[in-house]
Amino acid sequence: NFVTHNYSQAIEDFRSVLVTERDDYRSLFYIGFSEWRAGEAAEAAVYMRRALDNIECLKINFAMIPETLAQIELQNGELDKALGHADLALRMAIQSKDREGNSERASNILLLRGKIHSALGAQQEAIDDWRQALAVEPGFAECWYLLANIYRHRGETRLADEALTRFKALHEEL
């Protein structure tokens, strides 16, 4: 049900797991994610925080939990909380044993953290995050686009043009 985007049924299914396994962090995560996709951000955050508490207690690196919580908090304008959770997600992704799979995860988290920094008005930190993501994933078109915008806003025309050229080249490849 989750995979087919039947979120109301997925929520019901995962809640049935919690009847016998109250602290199952995977079910808590998927309920939170489903609630978020169903437009219930406040409820989603409650489940994500429970899932995060459980993985921190168990010392499990599951970066998608704090990453998703940071996305919800960014959407809700809770920027300081979002930044803290993005930082935690990045640490978890870097510490993970699955290095290869988590380089892409780390790049996604850096993209998110850059958006949070940008929303906080910390432009240089946003640029640093997006540049770091591009060092790992040079074909990350969204980072090039965001860099072009922030450089243009700062009046750095040459850098803006270079970033926009990279963005356009990536889209032509598709």
pLDDT at 59 over 70: yes
Sequence-ordered list of residues with C-beta below 8 angstroms from that of 150, at least 6 positions apart, any chain: 118, 123, 126, 127
Question: What pLDDT is stored for residue 40 in this prediction?
Answer: 96
Instruction: For residue 141, give the nearest of 117, 159, 115, 165 by alpha carbon.
Output: 165
CB atoms under 10 Å from CB of 15, counted, come to 14
pLDDT at 43 over 90: yes
Question: What pLDDT is stored for residue 121 in this prediction?
Answer: 97
For the segment 77-120, what is each residue's pLDDT rounded down to a tens digit? 999 999 999 999 999 998 876 655 578 899 999 999 999 999 99
Angle at which helices 99-119 and 64-75 pack, to 10 degrees?
20
What is the value of pTM for the model shown? 0.92
pLDDT (mean) for 117-144: 96
pLDDT at 25 over 70: yes
| Distance of alpha carbon 27 from alpha carbon 44, whole angstroms | 12
| Distance of alpha carbon 90 from alpha carbon 171, whole angstroms | 27
pLDDT (mean) for 36-44: 96
Report whether 139 contacts 170 (CB < 8 A).
yes
The DSSP symbol for 6 reads -
The token duo for 93 is 């992704």
Instruction: For residue 86, give the nearest of 106, 58, 60, 56 by alpha carbon.
Output: 106
Instruction: Report residue 71's pLDDT band, with 50, 70 and 90 as the boundaries.
Output: very high
